[in-house]
A and B are shown apart, each in its own frame.
Chain A
Amino acid sequence: MISVNIYRYNPEKDSFPYMQTFKFEKPKRDIMVLELLNQLKEKDPTISYRRSCREGVCGSDGMNINGKNGLACITPLSTVIKKNKLDLRPLPGLPVVRDLVVDMTEFYAQYEKIKPFLQNDTPVDIGERLQSPEDRDKLDGLYECILCACCSTSCPSFWWNPDKFVGPAALLQAYRFIADSRDTKTAERLQDLSDPFSVYRCHGIMNCVSVCPKGLNPNEAIGEIKSMLLSGKSKQNLIASDAVS
């Protein structure tokens, strides 16, 4: 038997959250943590969590699994169980709505803040904008983000300043647009990140890299942004160089 301890909190009934223990027969074949939750929910339909694609591409079921953030649907039980014990908690640092469901408002607000859309005012007459395969390759490792929030909610800087530090997920997306050869607002994007908090609260502890379920590296992207900011690519310089090119 496995002891599955699940963080429970229902705002209508509970003054404080608590851990509830469920005994679970160790399955013969390895199953994902999400499947375990689904089976427990069949017995106790009051357990709440988000889930959708069940294959690691929609980003719904980020949670803290035995102390480490991950996606329940692509985390095999065998890789996380310790001494027949499994603790499931909501993602840290965000307000809990209920059980394993967190309020992601601040996370999404940071995403919106970086203007997560291509900006290019030059009209295209016909067809697509051209982009070389080499330029397109620069987006690999960036565009695949699924906004699961595993990284940002594992980051102490985001815990302290969720309103001011953009956080690894949104910074990865900021760099995704900076790196896109089709985007013409690099200078403005950098300018928007140049205050003491937005990027500089990243101290490179790499929790984001170690938890990303998609194997992405927000730390590297943040490093690129920092070096662009530090190399004096101020707004003025960049606008001047854009004009030359």
Chain B
Amino acid sequence: MSTLNSSNIKTLEFDVLVIGGGGSGMRTSLELAKSGLKTAVVSKVFPTRSHTVSAQGGITCAIASADPQDDWRWHMYDTVKGSDYIGDQDAIEYMCSQGPKAVFELEHMGLPFSRTENGRIYQRPFGGQSKDFGKGGQAARTCAAADRTGHALLHTLYQNNVKEGSNFLNEWFAVDLVLNKFKEVTGVVAFSIESGEVAYLKAQATVLATGGAGRIYASTTNALINTGDGLGMSLRAGIPAQDMEMWQFHPTGIYGAGSLVTEGCRGEGGYLINKDGERFMERYAPNAKDLAGRDVVARSMVLEILEGRGCGEDKDHVFLKLDHLGADVLNAKLPGICELSRTFAAVDPVFEPIPVVPTCHYMMGGTPTNIHGQAFKLSSSDDDYIPGLFSVGEAACVSVHGANRLGGNSLLDLVVFGRAAGLHINEALKSGGGVADSDKDDIELALHNLNKLNESSAGYEVSAVKKELQEVMQNYFGVFRRGDYMDKGVSALEEIREKIENLHLKDKSAAFNTNRVEAIELQNLFEVAEATAISSLQRTESRGAHAREDYPDRDDENWLCHSLYDPTTKVLGKRHVNFEPSQVEAFPPKVRTY
């Protein structure tokens, strides 16, 4: 294959590029499809194969079905508390107040929500939910389509994109961002996985909707495709990432397989037990018990295991008990879980408990943005954007999840902020916004990495380096963290970087070359892993999902802020948290108990 340059590749020109065909990307493209702007969704898989499909329990939103008195302000309070007070309150307010509209839109589009007796959308209790600002007991606020809400949502969005005639570049893989001399983003270099054809996809606005990167860990609920491609591209281009130390470990991944078991199981009345059959969450969270925040439940489980009360031969997991709910409830409300459990744990939850263990699940951090999806520069100002660059969904850090996401808030995040970004881009481009052209050198800079891989004749094997990376992250940056261990982890990553830069692409062919895709995915994973490691080491406190044995307390004096990782210097800066919602008083930081 000859060296790629700006004159031997095609240029395909669009107004807007949406990179990623999951929930957030397709909600963005749906908004844009109605706008008349020339848009392309660039997705490395057919859109319904995106990871949104695996979301189970539901979409949390105060639609006041289960409780007619429910109020989006209560949802906002829970989300702020869940975030351990580093969620931006303007963004959380926007999400919670706009949420009902976004959920009703999904219903109108055809999403097959489960129903209550009076025909409204069914809502179930989830962790961290309360009524009346924490004073009114457990709320039931998560709108559900059985335990297949993500599947129903993703298919509904795809179906409506088909209806509106959206333009998809399916099985196209974005390699690197193209920036012009003003450091504005002008699109991406990408290739068709099917044919191998490389092109410069030029656009006035580029939206990163590339989801999470759970595959930096050896054990994760995430799909194999969750490799942080958008963040990988932006970090390589010197664009900052925010709160990368904040990774959610979901309490209930199936032991061994890693598949997710929804929090909805505990919402429907299931609970965790240790080897003595004790419902141990009663000790750790006397009020909320099994429905405390996910960070709290995950840490409690690890403590049970560390103290020798784990289940199984190696005492390395706990059990999720569901059988007391009865076959009827399980089959009606949790049919997908029964299926997964039989397949991956060889256990029928109607009769036996499911072996579970905390498993990497969600990236709270990402590209820092405002509520319109505009990506911030490395700056503490609220008006300093990177022209041409947007991010939505798990790839972004807007930040509604802060240091710990509440269950059901990710699907809401996708549709609320996907819609918001689409609306903003439409207005901005129609009122003359846009970016200057990139020149030949800019495009060739973005082709550099792909050329290097294509021309590699020796070097490191992709699969071996990936395993090494995942083990380092699993061992040194897990549920509990310690400075001296993390130091070792950071050094190990420095050694791996040399390998990442010298990968050997064994297969040089054009058609459906998954070896090439996996090599670039690994490079993206590495960028995310390094950002995670350095951010984790430098945030010297415990907050939300970031739990340090050497700094066990929350330190509001120094760390009531976002961390802002600069990939060019590998130094962690800080960014202020927004405490200025427009319709309610801000919720001040309090001690967080459940």
A residues within 8 Å of B by Cβ? Answer: 10-13, 41-42, 45-46, 48-60, 74, 97-99, 101, 103-104, 108, 112, 115-118, 120, 124, 127-133, 135-136, 139, 143-144, 146-147, 177, 180, 182-183
B248 within 8 A of partner (CB): no
Q: Chain B nearest CB: distance from A6 CB in Å?
A: 14
The CA-CA distance from A147 to B118 in the complex, in Å, is 32
Query: Which B33-52 residues have C-beta < 8 A from chain A?
Result: 45-46, 48-51
- Residues of B in contact (CB 8 Å), total 59
The answer to whether A130 touches B511 (Cβ under 8 A) is no
Contact A117 B512 (CB under 8 A): no
- Residue in contact with B115 in the complex, picked from A45, A56, A131, CB distance below 8 Å: A131
* A127 / chain B contacts, CB cutoff of 8 Å: 63, 104, 120
Known contacts A12-B509, A41-B463, A57-B54: A136-B115 contact under CB 8 Å: yes
Q: Bound complex: CA of A131 vs CA of B108, how far in Å? A: 12
Q: Are A46 and B54 in contact (CB under 8 A)?
A: no
Q: CB of B542 within 8 A of chain A?
A: no
Contact yes or no, B151 A146, CB < 8 A: yes
Contact B509 A55 (CB under 8 A): no
Q: Which of B120, B259, B511 contacts A98 (CB 8 A)?
A: B511
CA distance A112 to B47 in the complex (A): 14
Closest 8 CB pairs of A and B: A118-B110, A130-B119, A117-B159, A45-B515, A128-B107, A98-B512, A58-B49, A117-B163
Given A55-B259, A57-B54, A49 and B110 touching (CB < 8 A)?
Answer: no
How many angstroms from the CA of A198 to the CA of B515 in the assembled complex?
39
- Name the interface residues of B312-361: CB closer than 8 Å to any CB of A: 336, 339-340, 343-344
- Closest A residue to B162 using CB positions: A112
A144 to B154, CA, bound (A): 12
Q: List residues of chain A with CB within 8 A of the CB of B112.
A: 136, 139, 143, 180
Bound Cα distance A57, B344 (Å): 13
CA distance A135 to B115 in the complex (A): 9
Q: Which residue of B lies closest to A214 (CB)?
A: B339
8 Å CB contact of B49 from A59, A97, A103, A177: A59
Assess whether B512 is in contact with A48, with CB atoms less than 8 Å apart: yes
Q: Is B372 an interface residue (CB 8 A)?
A: no
Q: Are B54 and A55 in contact (CB under 8 A)?
A: yes
Is B344 a contact partner of A42 (Cβ separation < 8 A)?
A: no
Residue B584, interface by CB 8 Å:
no
- Per the bound structure, the CA–CA distance linking A45 and B194 in Å amounts to 16
| Chain B: CB-nearest residue to A47 | B514
Tell me which residues across on chain A come within 8 A of B575, comparing CB atoms.
Answer: none
Rounded to whole angstroms, the CA-CA distance of A177 and B110 in the bound complex is 9
The answer, among A10, A45, A124, A147, for a CB contact under 8 Å with B463, is A45
With both beta carbons as reference points, the residue of chain A lying nearest to B100 in the complex is identified as A127
CB 8 Å contact bits of B122-163 with A (1 = contact, 0 = none): 000000000000000000000001001001100100011011
Is B531 close to A, CB under 8 A? no
Closest CB-CB distance, A123 to chain B, in whole Å? 9
Q: A117 contacts which of B145, B160, B257 (Cβ < 8 Å)? A: B160
* Chain A residues closer than 8 Å to B46, beta-carbon distance: 60, 104, 108, 147
A/B interface sample: 7 pairs, CB < 8 A: A52-B49, A52-B50, A55-B340, A117-B160, A128-B113, A130-B119, A136-B112
> In the complex, what distance in Å separates the CA atom of A117 from the CA atom of B50?
19
Separation of A98 and B160 alpha carbons in the complex (Å):
31
Chain A residues in 8 Å Cβ range of B50: 52, 58
Beyond known contacts A53-B224, A127-B63, A129-B107: 6 more, CB 8 A cutoff: A51-B224, A53-B51, A97-B511, A128-B113, A129-B108, A180-B110
User: Residue among B48, B120, B162 with the most chain A CB within 10 A?
Assistant: B48
Interchain CB contact under 8 A, A42 and B151: no
Q: CA A144 – CA B160 in complex, angstroms?
A: 17
Chain B residue nearest to A144 (CB atoms) is B148
Does B389 sit at the interface, judged by CB under 8 A?
no
Contact of B511 among A12, A74, A139, A180 (CB under 8 A): A12
Tell me, rounded to whole Å, the shortest Cβ–Cβ distance linking A54 to chain B: 6
Q: How far is the CB of B195 from chain A (nearest CB, A)?
A: 9
- Report the bound CA distance from A125 to B553 in whole Å: 49
B48, B110, B462: which contacts A182 (Cβ < 8 A)? B110
B510 in contact with A12 (CB, 8 Å): yes
Tell me the minimal C-beta distance from A15 to chain B in angstroms.
Answer: 14
In the complex, whether B109 has a CB less than 8 A from a CB of chain A is: yes
Given A46-B507, A53-B49, A55-B259, the answer on whether A132 and B119 have CB atoms closer than 8 Å is: yes
B114 contacts which of A56, A136, A180 (Cβ < 8 Å)? A136
Q: Which residues of B contact A120 (CB under 8 A)?
A: 108
**Residue numbers in A under 8 Å from B114 (CB-CB):** 133, 136
Among the listed A52, A97, A177, which residue makes an inter-chain contact with B45, where contact means beta carbons less than 8 Å apart?
A52
The residue on B at minimum CB distance from A118 is B110
Contact assessment for A50 and B45 in the assembled complex, using a CB-CB cutoff below 8 Å:
yes
User: A10-B509, A12-B509, A144-B148 given as contacts; is B463 within 8 A of A42 (CB)?
Assistant: yes
* A56 and B225 within 8 A (CB): no
B257 nearest CB neighbor, chain A only = A55
Please determine whether A128 and B49 come into contact, CB atoms closer than 8 angstroms: no
Whether B513 lies near A53 (C-beta < 8 A) is no
In the complex, are the beta carbons of B159 and A116 less than 8 A apart? yes
